[in-house]
Amino acid sequence: MPRKEYIFQSSLSPYMNNFLIFREKQGKGIEETRRVLYDLDQFIVKNLCVDETHIERNIIENWSLSLSAKVSSQSVAAYLSLYKAFAKYLGLQGIKLFIPEIPIVKTEYEAYVFSEDEINRIITYSDNQYIGPETIFWAKYSVLLRLLYGTGMRISEGINLTTKDLDPKGEYFIVSRAKGNKDRIVVLHPTLRKVIRKYLELINDSTYLFSKDGVKPYSIRWAQMMFSMVLDGSGVAEKMPKAKGKKGFNIHCLRHTFAVHSIRNMIKNGIDVYSEIPILSIYMGHEDPQGTEQYLHLAGEVHLDIEEMMKDYNSGIFPEIEDYEKE
Range of the domain at 183: 116-308
Residues 87 and 127 in one domain: no
Residues 87 and 130 in one domain: no
Residues 88 and 154 in one domain: no
Residues 54 and 142 in one domain: no
Residues 39 and 148 in one domain: no
Residues 76 and 139 in one domain: no
Residues 218 and 304 in one domain: yes
Helices 31-47 and 73-92, packing angle to 10 deg:
80
Question: Residue 68's pLDDT is what?
Answer: 85
Tally of domains in the chain: 2
CA distances, 268 to each of 17, 257, 303, 308, 319 (Å) = 51, 16, 11, 11, 25
**Burial bucket for residue 143 (CB in 10 Å: 0-12, 13-18, 19+):** buried
Whether 100 is in a domain gets the answer no
Which DSSP symbol is given to 30? Answer: -
Residues 244 and 276 in one domain: yes
Alpha carbon distance 105, 86 (integer Å) = 21
Whether 325 is in a domain gets the answer no
Residue % of the chain over a pLDDT of 70: 79
Q: Which of 76, 92, 108 is the last residue of a domain?
A: 92
Question: Residue 38's pLDDT is what?
Answer: 94
Question: Residue 292's pLDDT is what?
Answer: 60
Give 257-283 pLDDT, tens digit per residue: 998 888 888 878 887 777 777 778 777
Question: Residue 299's pLDDT is what?
Answer: 57
Give 49-101 pLDDT, tens digit per residue: 655 657 888 899 999 999 988 887 778 888 998 999 999 999 998 888 899 88
Residues 71 and 132 in one domain: no
Q: Find the angle CA(296)-CA(301)-CA(306) to the nearest 5 degrees.
A: 70
Higher pLDDT, 316 or 274: 274
Q: Cα-flanking dihedrals φ and ψ of residue 187, to 5°? A: -75, 140
Task: Flag whether pLDDT at 34 surpasses 60.
Answer: yes
The whole-number average pLDDT for the span 175-186 is 75
Whether 122 is in a domain gets the answer yes
pTM of model > 0.75: no
> CA torsion 37→286→23→53, rounded to 10°?
40
Q: Answer for the pair 122, 72: CB distance below 8 angstroms, yes or no.
A: no
Of the given ranges (27-31, 160-164, 215-219, 251-255), which has the lowest mean pLDDT? 27-31
Question: Residue 120's pLDDT is what?
Answer: 95
Residues 181 and 280 in one domain: yes
3-8 long-range contacts, Cβ below 8 Å, gap at least 24?
A: 6/34, 6/35, 6/37, 6/38, 8/37, 8/38, 8/41
Residues 74 and 197 in one domain: no
Helices (H), 204-304: 220-234, 236-239, 253-268, 273-284, 290-302
Task: Flag whether pLDDT at 198 surpasses 80.
Answer: yes
Whether 322 is in a domain gets the answer no
Residues 150 and 194 in one domain: yes
